[in-house]
Amino acid sequence: MNEFIVIELADNQQIKVEKGTALIEVARKIATSLGKKAIAGNFNGLPVSINDLLMESGKLEIISIDSNEGLSAIRQTAARVFIHAIQRVFGDANLGVGNQTENGFYYDFHSNYRISKENFNVIEEEMKKIISEDIPIVAKLLSRQEAIQLFESYNQSYKVELINEYKQDMVSVYRQGQFVDIFEGPHLPSTGWLKAYKLLEVSGVYWKGEDTNDVLQRVYGIAFRNNKELNEHLKRIEEAKKRDHRNLGKQLELFMFSNEAPGMPFYLPKGQIIRQALEDYSREVQRKSGYNEVRTPSMMNQKLWEESGHWNHYHENMYFSEVDKTNFALKPMNCPGHMLIFKDKLYSYRDLPVRIAEFGQVHRHEFSGALNGLLRVRTFCQDDAHIFIREDQMVEEIRNVFRLVDEVYQTFGFSYKVELSTRPEKSLGNDAFWNDSEAALIQVLDSLGIDYVLNEGDGAFYGPKIDFHIEDALHRSHQCATIQLDYQMPGKFNLSYINENNEKVRPVVIHRAIFGSIDRFLGILIEHYAGAFPTWLAPTQVKILPVARAHEEYANALKELLLSHNIRVEIDYRNEKLGYRIREAQLEKLPYVLVVGNQEVNENIVNVRKYGEKTSVIVNVEDFISKVCDEIKFKQL
């Protein structure tokens, strides 16, 4: 008589199947379409392949090729098909680690043959052969000693080193024909499922990221469900290259870098105009929201950083100097300085909240290999603020910060997503504090009806935080704004206010930034707008092109009129053909180019060419000025 088991599915539905039924047969029993798309599963919390036999009752989650887990499986498999091809083509590869990335995969390995992009076609052809062979991917649990012996037989010393570091007794290993690797699932059932992939970059990395270890080669690739998705991503990559802020920053003369100050940007006149516009706008919205701006020293006593707790968590990223036989540190953040400002005055409960803001220049050490234009630097300006509140003000004040963040991001045309990060492994404070703090942030998010992602264990060492991830024109995500709740630092600095019973009470602090780093935000804006800034941000808002010498007097008068309305304007006096000067102005991505000739002089009009539009229009000078002033005043996009 047949023996049956009960399988509980993800939706709590239960089905009865014969003991020993393969997962793929269960998928087909649920739905024919699912049987065609099923690639793997999780049974009672453990990964299983589609051909594994289910021998007991339990809970089953079937992974479909269309799911996020399915896309992960595609990329994990692509990494292994790539390194399998490397072994076939070059023979001597000693395998490090490989994994999926946001859009694809990478694999680190050592080979006596130096891989370059010129080799990618050969490697991709070998990958195609491995895929056409439709090699089954089979996982197996081995004891640690068995796994070590297996990889020693393949001369894979890095794998042996990894296995020796494993804490568990059993190691999941999988085989793909003659190729073996440590299992990191899920994977596709066989190589034939892999459809769309491409190799992109090669670089050097240290084994385990430590500069005392061997230098390995790392190859990056992308992988998608089909060629349509792959080609769409390749187009985005090409568009990203065109928008690269490092190239546009040079082309538009916004900023530069020098070997005399690695990772520290020099702002050229046009770039400084944009930076100043960002700061002025931020000051405007902060002033309306009750913030008072301050300025704190760039360098303070090391004891201050020890007192604040930053020393234990951050000193490896700080710069130090000795003054009068005392150790000082360049500030990596503004928090301690703001604590000292609050402490310098006696506050009543009626004075709270106290909102202190600063555009503070901070310094943080980054490895040279991590530096990336304005997006990753060693010194940057934070639009930092600290709000000192009573506990009963917490929810409303966080709501106010949300409203401020939303207003700012709408101004730049950014949509955003929200992430709540909870207590990290290394943290200050007791369980009650963390529970109360996290509950307060959840209450705000729920009361505002905001969807959020929970990021467990990634909070600041002094409190939980809410991070905002903006999405740019290429749908890339950038973490910028943050709201952090802090009960710890007020205690470390012995801060207090006088309550209604004339008692000293500890305030709560909200750490808040909106741009995060103004430098990084500018880099994001350059790429988001592809260098074509909205009028209110553009370094030069209008350029005037007189057709001939006879029209320069009118151009000069027009310039003075525009300047009187605080419009940033230049005149191109060069003795070049008009068409050439128009094309040059287009390369500068200027919002408006005005061509003035006989008709414009005689009728007091301007020929307006707006960036991105193919045709010009004739308009009255006053109407043009009114339009530009409105775009600046209302910060139109």
Contact status, residue 504 vs residue 390, Cβ threshold 8 Å: no
Instruction: Return phi, psi of residue 387, to 5°.
Output: -115, 120
Q: Residue 482: beta bridge partners? A: 467, 513
- Give the C-alpha separation, 591 to 531, whole Å: 11
Q: In a 3-state reduction of DSSP, which class is residue 409?
A: helix
Active site residue 272: no
CA 212 to chain centre: 29
Strands 605-610 and 592-596: antiparallel
- Give the C-alpha separation, 34 to 31, whole Å: 5
**Kind plus residue range of the DSSP H or E element containing 437:** helix 431-447
Specify burial of residue 452 (Cβ count, 10 A radius: 0-12, 13-18, 19+): middle
Please tell me which residue in 355, 363, 465, 528 is annotated as part of the active site.
Answer: 465
Please tell me which residue in 80, 338, 364, 551 is annotated as part of the active site.
Answer: 364
Instruction: Return phi, psi of residue 172, to 5°.
Output: -90, 115
Cis, bond preceding 353 (omega within 30 deg of 0): yes
550-558 contacts, C-beta under 8 A, 24 or more apart:
551/596, 551/597, 551/598, 551/600, 551/601, 554/596, 554/600, 554/601, 555/596, 558/594, 558/596, 558/606, 558/621
Under the phi-then-psi rule, with left for phi > 0, alpha for psi from -120 to 50, and beta for the rest, what region is 134? Answer: left
Active site residue 335: yes
Active site residue 149: no
CA 215 to chain centre: 27
Please tell me which residue in 384, 467, 486, 519 is annotated as part of the active site.
Answer: 384
**Kind plus residue range of the DSSP H or E element containing 162:** helix 157-165
Q: According to the 3-state scheme, what is the secondary structure of 249-283?
A: HHHCCCEECCCCCCCCCEECHHHHHHHHHHHHHHH
Number of helical H runs and strand E runs in the chain = 20, 34
- Give the C-alpha separation, 80 to 96, whole Å: 12
Please tell me which residue in 159, 376, 378, 386 is annotated as part of the active site.
Answer: 386
Q: Which two tokens stand for residue 337?
A: 């300085």
- Give the C-alpha separation, 247 to 373, whole Å: 9
CB atoms under 10 Å from CB of 236, counted, come to 14
Active site residue 145: no
| All residues at 6 or more sequence positions from 547 whose CB lies less than 8 Å from its CB, including other chains | 578, 595, 596, 597, 598
Active site residue 382: yes
Please tell me which residue in 245, 310, 511, 581 is annotated as part of the active site.
Answer: 511
Contact status, residue 596 vs residue 553, Cβ threshold 8 Å: no
Active site residue 465: yes
Active site residue 208: no
Please tell me which residue in 382, 393, 488, 541 is annotated as part of the active site.
Answer: 382
The residues annotated with a catalytic role in the active site are 335, 364, 382, 384, 386, 465, 511
